[in-house]
Structure 1
Amino acid sequence: MADATETAPLLTPTADDDGAPFWAYAARGELRIQTCANPACAELRFPPRPCCPHCHSFDSAWRRMSGRGRIWSYVVPHPPLLPAYAAQAPYNAIVVELAEAPRIRLVGNLVAAADARLDSVDPARIRIGARVQAVFARVGDVTLPRWVLERP
């Protein structure tokens, strides 16, 4: 179980009608991305929204992703941006480009294992383009997608 200080400032993400399925699937250990259900379009979209920005259809579905991706960008805040995380500094925040959908990018943390502390990966090991895999950790009342290196 993740350290309680990790939940201090960010207790629960706001789950609106459009984004609630993302969090429900994450709780099951699945990374799913909203997709347009119009067969002529079928574009993936994130963040979730009611209308497809490509064809304007209001029909949507949730496509299961492999959870594989690569680090597109990252930051290691010094000092920690959120005081509740100071005990785990230096920690990272990464942007991951999904393998199946390079236009879809998710923000999270690179960790040594799903339930590891945010400081479990030495910042010197983080590289743009490094291949990562999604893992899921229960933190407070929510299950968060996190990322581990495919080849540590």
Structure 2
Amino acid sequence: MAGDPSTPGIDDFTRPYWEAAAAGELLIRRCGACGRPHHYPREFCPHCWSEDVGWERASGRATLYTWSVVHRNDLPPFTGRVPYTAALVELAEGVRMMTEVVECEPDRLAVGTELTVAFRTGEDGVSVPVFRPAGPPQGQSSSRSHSPRSARR
């Protein structure tokens, strides 16, 4: 599960996150002490510093907070993906997440666009969460992405 520079390192702590992604599910962390969710995965709550945190399945729904279309990136494997839409989305659970918007032409995006999670599987076999507009695809194809398990039921 290593070797693709676009995939973060996977260790014993983050393994549940990546295994869930491979199964089409998005996980976040929630604090048992203060009840607040957070993302990216950490072993402690960034709000109250409690270590009483656990994994929770996220709904996969989000809204677009901001985005930027990347036209040049000389780092592999991004060179072959340009242009792509880097984005910050706000999950329905209230946390923000860096990601990519797929299956949508950038001129169709607006702050507040409703999105749903999909997963792109890289050459190394690791699935990473990306987001697409809620509803039918709207342009730009993403042949290596798949919908989450909850959307396939």
- Please say whether Structure 1 and Structure 2 have the same fold, judged by a TM-score greater than 0.5: yes
Q: Normalising to structure 2: TM-score of the pair?
A: 0.75
1:28 shift after superposition:
1.2
Match of 1:110 in 2: 101
Distance 2:78 2:56 in 1: 33
- Which of 88, 96, 109 is 1:126 aligned to? 109
Deviations 1:6-43 (A, max 9, x none): x8642x321244333221211111111011123xx121
Match of 1:52 in 2: 45
- Which of 19, 26, 39 is 1:24 aligned to? 19
Distance 1:132 1:13 in 2: 23
SS in 2 for 1:109: strand
Distance 2:108 2:89 in 1: 16
Q: Which consecutive residues of structure 2, in runs of 5 or more, have no partner in the other structure?
A: 139-153
Distance 1:43 1:52 in 2: 8
Match of 1:80 in 2: 73
SS in 1 for 2:84: coil
Q: Which consecutive residues of structure 1, in runs of 5 or more, have no partner in the other structure?
A: 1-6, 113-120
AA partner of residue 55 (structure 2) = W
Contact 1:37–1:61 (Cα < 8 Å) also in 2: yes
* Deviating more after overlay: 67-76 vs 56-65: 56-65
Q: Hey, which bits of structure 1, 4+ residues long, moved more than 6 A?
A: none
Report the count of equivalent residues. Answer: 133
Distance 2:61 2:44 in 1: 26
Does 2:136 align with 1:136? Answer: no
Contact 1:71–1:128 (Cα < 8 Å) also in 2: yes
Contact 1:90–1:123 (Cα < 8 Å) also in 2: no
Match of 2:151 in 1: none
Q: Name the CA shift for 1:79/1:54 in 2 (closer, same or farther; >3 Å).
A: closer
- Which of 131, 137, 140 is 1:147 aligned to? 131
Q: Name the CA shift for 1:143/1:84 in 2 (closer, same or farther; >3 Å).
A: closer
User: Identity, % of aligned pairs?
Assistant: 36
Q: Normalising to structure 1: TM-score of the pair?
A: 0.75
Match of 1:62 in 2: 55
Question: What RMSD, in angstroms, separates the aligned Cα atoms of the two structures?
Answer: 2.1
